[in-house]
Structure 1
């Protein structure tokens, strides 16, 4: 009896082992459209896709076509570009947040810019004063050298060293002055970018609040561009409108910002146009009118005169774009 039970156990284990070792087959269509079944995967199967069959011929799983090496490389590069774009977006968000935290208005940015430029200009003048003194010093040293030569005397070593040192100081001074001039250009460029970006952010904020009830005459006027070609034409017309209606001259013109000089008197107005993204990959052009930061200036911005400047803009565009 014991032997019989042992035989039954061995038989059951054999059945399980057989099922566990059940063979799988792979079926695919070759380039001629014929169904091919094999017991091993091939590169051709992976490329075109295949079915996994059990030993009874039943489909266990369907596997789609594999990616080519070129497709895998393209996918890898796309992921890298996507990651770069995400990092750049985060950097831009942090930069925008810092810009808004640091400045409360474009006027603040301009004042900071002018202060830095003035400091650099003063340093340049100091360098120029040093150079003038060094030139006088060199001239005196050269006169001493000429006297020694007329007397037929050898030029003293100390005087030779002094002349060489003065010339070297003049060269260093000139280099420092050039570096400071380059820094002035960089500072002006950096602050111009800050002004443009701040205005874009300010316009976006005002656009989002355009339905709010405002009584100070500062509501923006928004033109929704129907397509890129018309938007470019409208942007060119915005420059004309700014020249014709602002009190001062245009100070900044970029692809996204037109800004006239700020009002200095209570009777002056400034215009700014911002081209900002809109829903559905479109663009909007936002007109803002500003006045001097005084009681009279505030009243001017509430006046019919300024109201007409704002309300006439869309009709101005309509007449010229149709």
Structure 2
């Protein structure tokens, strides 16, 4: 009954406009719906609807945003812009990755090949270290023998001992650095391996925080 009365009232309000064939404006004033042929300037910022001669809505003008709402809108737009930039950057990286590796097995083979190369360098440096340590011991023994005989250790022998000590430090440092590089390789290829698993389930450019780990594990274990 109320609805019938409302539409009957609306028809009465619209009748002059319908006859004239012009548009009218519907807006709200203190909770009451008002339909007029113009919108007061002080009410336009609150939003309104444009109705044609048949009473149909042909355009809706939303209310103007407050300063706080504008700031929040701009903040969300900036976050989305940053997110899209991250996606684009990751897409580029993903395409490059897929050009290098077609499967996880390719990654494992590449890791083993590079790791074996590093381990070979470590073994070589270890052998050099043992050799230099033996030479240092011999030089130090020779210096001790000279001192026991009351002789002064020659400058040449002192320089030789110093060189061996420096070589030992260099070799020990080199071994440590290559051992660290092995760990770095494991980490690097582990990340590559994981990314390939992600790309087998998710589209290019998928961000890390958008990956469902449980779903990924379920897909990988199939």
**TM bucket by the smaller chain?**
0.5 to 0.7
Task: Please give the alpha-carbon distance, in whole angstroms, between the structure 2 residues aligned to 1:75 and 1:173.
Answer: 60
Structure 2 residue aligned with 1:192: 190
2:215 pairs with 1:275: yes
Deviations 1:158-216 (A, max 9, x none): 211221121111111111111111111111111112222212322458xxxxxxxxxxx
Q: Is the 8 A contact 2:197 2:220 kept in 1?
A: no
Task: Please give the alpha-carbon distance, in whole angstroms, between the structure 1 residues aligned to 2:132 and 2:119.
Answer: 20
Deviations 1:227-268 (A, max 9, x none): xxxxxxxxxxxxxxxxxxxxxxxxxxxx83xxxxxxxxxxxx
Structure 2 residue aligned with 1:117: 115
2:132 aligned to which of 129, 134, 147: 134
Alignment of 1:281-296 (within 5 A): 285-286=218-219
Structure 1 residue 85, shift from structure 2 partner: 2.1
Structure 2 residue aligned with 1:174: 172
Structure 2 residue aligned with 1:67: 67
Task: Please give the alpha-carbon distance, in whole angstroms, between the structure 2 residues aligned to 1:204 and 1:66.
Answer: 39
Instruction: Give the secondary-structure state (helix, strand or coil) at the position aligned to 1:112.
Output: helix
Structure 1 residue 83, shift from structure 2 partner: 3.5
TM normalised by structure 2 equals 0.61
Q: Is the 8 A contact 1:200 1:275 kept in 2?
A: no
**Number of residue pairs matched by the alignment:** 158
Q: Is the 8 A contact 2:107 2:189 kept in 1?
A: yes
Q: Is the 8 A contact 1:275 1:286 kept in 2?
A: yes
| CA gap 1:179/1:84 in 2 versus in 1, 3 angstroms | farther
Q: What residue ranges of structure 1 are gaps of 5+ in the alignment?
A: 1-57, 206-254, 257-273, 277-283, 290-322
Structure 1 residue 128, shift from structure 2 partner: 0.6
Instruction: Give the secondary-structure state (helix, strand or coil) at the position aligned to 1:59.
Output: coil
Task: Please give the alpha-carbon distance, in whole angstroms, between the structure 2 residues aligned to 1:197 and 1:86.
Answer: 19
Task: Please give the alpha-carbon distance, in whole angstroms, between the structure 1 residues aligned to 2:174 and 2:76.
Answer: 46
Task: Please give the alpha-carbon distance, in whole angstroms, between the structure 2 residues aligned to 1:94 and 1:166.
Answer: 50
Deviations 1:271-322 (A, max 9, x none): xxx724xxxxxxx932665xxxxxxxxxxxxxxxxxxxxxxxxxxxxxxxxx
User: Greater strand share, 1 or 2?
Assistant: 1
| CA gap 1:130/1:287 in 2 versus in 1, 3 angstroms | closer
| CA gap 1:167/1:94 in 2 versus in 1, 3 angstroms | same
TM normalised by structure 1 equals 0.43
| CA gap 1:118/1:287 in 2 versus in 1, 3 angstroms | closer
CA root-mean-square deviation: 3.0
